[in-house]
Amino acid sequence: MEAGSYPFGGEVVVADRRWNFYVRDARRVAARALRAAGVAADVVLTDDRTVRRLNYRDRGKNKPTNVLTYERPPEILLALGVVRREAAREGKTVRAHLAHLLVHGALHLRGYEHDHAGEAREMESEEAKILARLKVANPWKNR
């Protein structure tokens, strides 16, 4: 397990070393995404099994999800397998999808939700603005 502190106020932990193969500069991607979103949080880059276990424990859903966000302490966890499969399905790089999901998780920490259509549009709009600053394509543009 590799860890590194960054000036955005959090720590990036690479719990699954395979992240380094798919996103060579994953720590830097995480730091830039959270800084752009204005959020200080720890990031854990982990595997599907770990995220599935936490998703079941905390949300009652016995399946992995792409990103889990916790408010106390502020923490964002990402599941490599889910992120890879989604990126492939959506025709984008794992790096770009990682940046998007980090921004998504950061916005949850800032209080954004997407349970209703209006909330979802507002959150998507904010994600697109932040991703543009990171030079990552708008994931909502051609839906």
- Is 70 exceeded by the pLDDT of residue 32? yes
- Is 60 exceeded by the pLDDT of residue 3? no
Query: What is the count of structural domains for the chain?
Result: 1
* pLDDT attached to residue 142: 64
Per the domain annotation, does 143 fall within a domain? no
- Is 70 exceeded by the pLDDT of residue 141? yes
Per the domain annotation, does 140 fall within a domain? no
Per the domain annotation, does 138 fall within a domain? no
Mean pLDDT of 11-21: 94
* pLDDT attached to residue 4: 52
Per the domain annotation, does 90 fall within a domain? yes
Per the domain annotation, does 34 fall within a domain? yes
CATH code, domain carrying 22: 3.40.390.30
* pLDDT attached to residue 10: 80
Mean pLDDT of 7-16: 81
Give residue 90's domain range. 2-133
Mean pLDDT of 11-34: 94
pTM: 0.91
Per the domain annotation, does 97 fall within a domain? yes
Which positions ≥6 away from 91 have C-beta within 8 Å? none
pLDDT in tens, 93-140: 999 999 999 999 999 999 998 988 999 999 999 999 999 999 999 887
- Is 70 exceeded by the pLDDT of residue 35? yes
pLDDT in tens, 61-89: 999 999 999 999 899 999 999 999 999 99
Per the domain annotation, does 139 fall within a domain? no
